[in-house]
Amino acid sequence: MNRIGIAGAGAFGTALAVTLAQAGREVVLWGRHAARVHEMRAARENPLLTGVALQENVSVSAEIGDIAACDAVLLTVPTQALSGLLDDHGAALDGRALVACCKGVDLATGRGPTALIAEACPGATPAVLTGPSFAADIARGLPTALTLACAEADAGAHLQDRLSTPSLRLYRSTDVVGAELGGALKNVMAIAAGIVIGSGLGESARAALITRGFAEMQRFARAYGADPETLAGLSGFGDLVLTCTSAQSRNFGYGVALGEGAYFDPHVTVEGAPTARAVAAIAQARAIDMPVTQSVAHVIDGRRSIQEAVKILLSRPLKEE
């Protein structure tokens, strides 16, 4: 079967379906809610991505067997929902190339997406697709470059060929841990950057935050055996810049709302919040210096005010860069 399956009919999954279909691929887009799937099938549009029509070579289904029939499946559900998806359907998806398209660390286990895949589907080939991207840009065919990381080099090359399109350029890596951590940790830094802007601390402070946050990301990745250079690529630095500077970023927007003391829709997925909690706990247990992440975790949990967090960060000992 040469079709590509996509598990998760949200905005990002739909955007990937559209760009792959535009390049001539046969795509099956799966959603867990039958009523929503029926609406999308009838309207040929996802209400989360208005104005983008689904092509004829995109089939929309609520039957897991339809994507289980594909040899490659992109998993586009949020990180905190990935374990549930694999618990429910891992047996049906085992034995395939399973590409995680979510960014974060599972709060319950402290694991990244590919580790969750490997445990639930031991016969699968885990990979991760990550980097600076917004669903709306991908769906509109705007140029986007991402990292495709797979520990098996040959399998990664095959996936790179199948998933690349004229507007979606994929760069291959075998450093799965580094790619995952870059995508996860940049969301935490985006919340921090949003807090900086929402609190009125200014653009200079945001630039400093991004720079020190990037050093923190590399430090954590190194402790997990990742290549720090991976973090300097699309999956780390590239995604960090985009997410910390764009109003389209949900994590940045959440941080701005925290800084302003404004309302933020609790139904909007903010991957950086549970990731901050998980990474802060890991960093404390392993004595990894993560002051920005710790501050974000304390602020979102209400254990520290923004003013207290800023004061603590600014009072850290002076040292060489």
Please confirm, yes or no, whether 186 is among the known catalytic residues. yes
Quick one: 87 and 194 in the same domain? no
Domain assignment present for 321: no
Per-residue pLDDT at 150 exceeds 70 = yes
Give me the CATH number covering residue 241: 1.10.1040.10
- Residue 319, in any domain of the structure: no
257 shares its domain with 139: no
Q: Could you say which of 110, 144, 174 is where a domain stops?
A: 174
Q: Quick one: 14 and 68 in the same domain? A: yes
Same domain assignment for residues 103 and 197: no
In a domain, 254, yes or no: yes
User: Whole-angstrom Cα distance, residue 116 to residue 100?
Assistant: 10
* pLDDT exceeds 80 at position 158: yes
The reply to whether 154 and 190 lie within a common domain is no
pLDDT at 295: 95
Which three-class secondary structure state does DSSP give residue 250?
helix
- Residues 170, 193, single domain; the answer is no
In a domain, 179, yes or no: no
In whole numbers, what is the pLDDT of the chain averaged over residues? 94
In terms of domains, do 205 and 149 share one?
A: no
Segment 103-125 mean pLDDT: 92
Number of domains in the chain: 2
Q: Is the pLDDT of residue 107 over 90?
A: no
Instruction: Note whether 116 and 188 are same-domain residues.
Output: no
List C-alpha distances in Å: 196 to 117, 258, 299. Answer: 35, 10, 12
130, 155, 174: which is the final residue of a domain?
Answer: 174
pLDDT recorded at residue 176 = 96
pLDDT at 15: 97
Share of the chain above pLDDT 90, in %: 90
- 232-to-31, 77, 134, 170, 215 alpha-carbon distances in Å: 34, 26, 20, 16, 10
Range of 211's domain? Answer: 184-314
Catalytic entry in 103, 186, 311, 319: 186
Same domain? 161 vs 202? no
Q: Is the dihedral of CA 23, 27, 32, 35 positive or negative?
A: positive
The answer to whether residue 321 scores a pLDDT higher than 80 is no
163 with 201, same domain: the answer is: no
Q: In CATH, what number is assigned to the domain containing residue 127? A: 3.40.50.720
Output the pLDDT for position 316.
73
**For residue 318, what pLDDT band results from cuts at 50, 70 and 90?**
low
pLDDT at residue 22 in the model: 96
Average the pLDDT over 93-99 and give the result: 97
Same domain, 54 and 166: yes
Confidence at residue 309, expressed as pLDDT on a 0 to 100 scale: 87
